[in-house]
């Protein structure tokens, strides 16, 4: 049944009446891209890529979502053909653990950019470390999101029990509103730099990021080397100093059985339109051929591999 859904949605057709068309033999009738909350980079990136594909006469429907876990499930069951996901959720998906009952048949088109974990509080908050969240009301991210996955791992590594705080399952937009209104004391967000919704929040209400660098090695030891040390630069969201945190790569993911020509043209379009997309989504400027192939633990799609081999300098 899943294969039937994919076959209906991703139908390869020839375009013989357009000479020199690079999409000839590889143009799908339609594509669905699953992204994230509308205040985050996944969604903006998906919309921008969708606009480019629409210019190539590929009809695109961009869906918002809870984030990585939901995106992986949608791609696997054929509800969507393209999805963004963080590497930690991907690792669970290919192993069939955590939120996934069985391994999912997925491949990557590219490593697109890295997420940085934001633990956001008001500027005047007494919260200075992750341990200070005990006894407070905290948004841990939307259900089935990469943010929720990583927030729980960070709290566990810091020795903060779930019962020690009042946890809320809010998406980014809801978290921002709740911090602004005082309904939460802090919120977690795993996203690229700079995240538009937090940027707008900082313009209206001074905020601060809580450093997380001291527990990165503990998280890596427990959950793998996909996590790394990251730094949010000085000046981001009005900060007066850089903030050490945890970073994780993001991948653009498809089903393993996507036709090779379709996958190849999607990667071609992704790179050809990088500068155009980066004008509205700065994180897109980090797309790089040398780094894009590093999608462990997910295999590169054979069609994507063909692109990288042919364009290798």
What pLDDT shows up at residue 170?
Answer: 95
What pLDDT shows up at residue 127?
Answer: 97
Instruction: Output the pTM of the full model.
Output: 0.82
What pLDDT shows up at residue 20?
Answer: 61
Q: What is the pLDDT of residues 6-50, one digit of tens each?
A: 333 444 443 334 346 778 778 888 899 999 888 888 999 999 999
What pLDDT shows up at residue 12?
Answer: 41
What pLDDT shows up at residue 192?
Answer: 84
What pLDDT shows up at residue 11?
Answer: 40
pLDDT tens digits, the chain, 313 residues: what are they? 343 333 334 444 433 343 467 787 788 888 999 998 888 889 999 999 999 999 988 999 999 998 899 999 999 999 999 999 999 999 999 999 988 999 999 999 999 999 999 999 999 999 999 999 999 999 999 888 889 999 999 999 999 998 899 999 999 999 999 999 999 999 999 988 888 899 999 998 899 999 999 999 999 999 988 899 999 999 999 888 999 999 999 999 999 999 999 999 999 999 999 999 999 998 899 999 999 999 999 999 999 999 999 987 5
What pLDDT shows up at residue 313?
Answer: 55
CB atoms within 10 A of CB 174: 18
Q: What DSSP string describes the chain? A: -HHHHHHHHS-EE--TTSTT-TTTTTEES-EEEE---TTSHHHHHHHHHHHHHHHTT--EEEE--S-HHHHHHHHHHTS-SEEEEEHHHHHHHHHT-TT-SS---EEEEEEEEEEEEEEEEETT-S--SGGGGTTSEEE---TT-HHHHHHHHHHHHHT--GGGSEEE---HHHHHHHHHHTS-SEEEEEE-SS-HHHHHHHHHS-EEEPP-GGGHHHHHHHH-TT-EEEEEPTTGGG-SS-EEEEEEEEEEEEETTS-HHHHHHHHHHHHHTHHHHHTT-GGGGG--HHHHT--TTSPBPHHHHHHHHHT--
Q: What is the pLDDT of residues 228-240, one digit of tens each?
A: 999 999 999 988 8
What pLDDT shows up at residue 215?
Answer: 95
- Is the separation of the CB atoms in 139 and 174 below 8 Å? yes
């Amino acid at each position: 049944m899943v294969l039937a859904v994919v076959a209906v949605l991703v139908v390869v057709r020839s375009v013989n009446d357009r000479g020199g068309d690079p999409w000839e033999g590889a143009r799908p009738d339609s594509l669905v891209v699953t992204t994230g909350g509308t205040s985050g980079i996944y969604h903006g990136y998906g919309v921008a890529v969708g606009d480019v594909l629409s210019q190539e006469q590929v009809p695109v429907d961009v869906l918002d979502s809870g984030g990585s876990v939901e995106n992986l499930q949608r791609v696997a069951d054929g509800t969507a053909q393209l999805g963004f996901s963080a590497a930690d959720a991907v690792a669970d998906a290919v192993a069939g653990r955590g939120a996934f009952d069985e391994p999912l048949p997925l491949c990557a088109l590219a490593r697109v950019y890295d997420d940085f974990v934001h633990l956001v509080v008001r500027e005047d908050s007494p919260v200075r470390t992750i341990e200070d969240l005990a006894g407070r009301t905290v948004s841990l991210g939307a259900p089935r999101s990469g943010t929720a996955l990583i927030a729980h791992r960070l709290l566990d590594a810091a020795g903060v029990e779930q019962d020690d705080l009042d946890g809320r399952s809010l998406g980014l937009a809801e978290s921002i509103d709740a911090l602004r209104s005082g309904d939460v004391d802090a919120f977690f967000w795993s996203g690229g730099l700079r995240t538009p919704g937090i940027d707008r929040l900082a313009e209206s209400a001074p905020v601060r990021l809580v450093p997380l660098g001291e527990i990165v090695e503990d998280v890596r030891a427990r959950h793998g080397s996909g996590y790394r040390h990251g730094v949010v630069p000085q000046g981001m969201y009005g900060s007066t100093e850089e903030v050490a945190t945890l970073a994780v790569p993001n991948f653009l993911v498809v089903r393993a059985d996507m036709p090779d020509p379709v996958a190849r043209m999607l990667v071609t379009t992704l790179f050809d339109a990088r500068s155009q997309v980066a004008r509205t989504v700065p994180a897109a400027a980090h797309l790089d051929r040398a780094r894009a192939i590093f999608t462990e633990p997910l295999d590169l799609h054979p069609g994507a591999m063909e692109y990288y081999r042919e364009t290798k300098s």
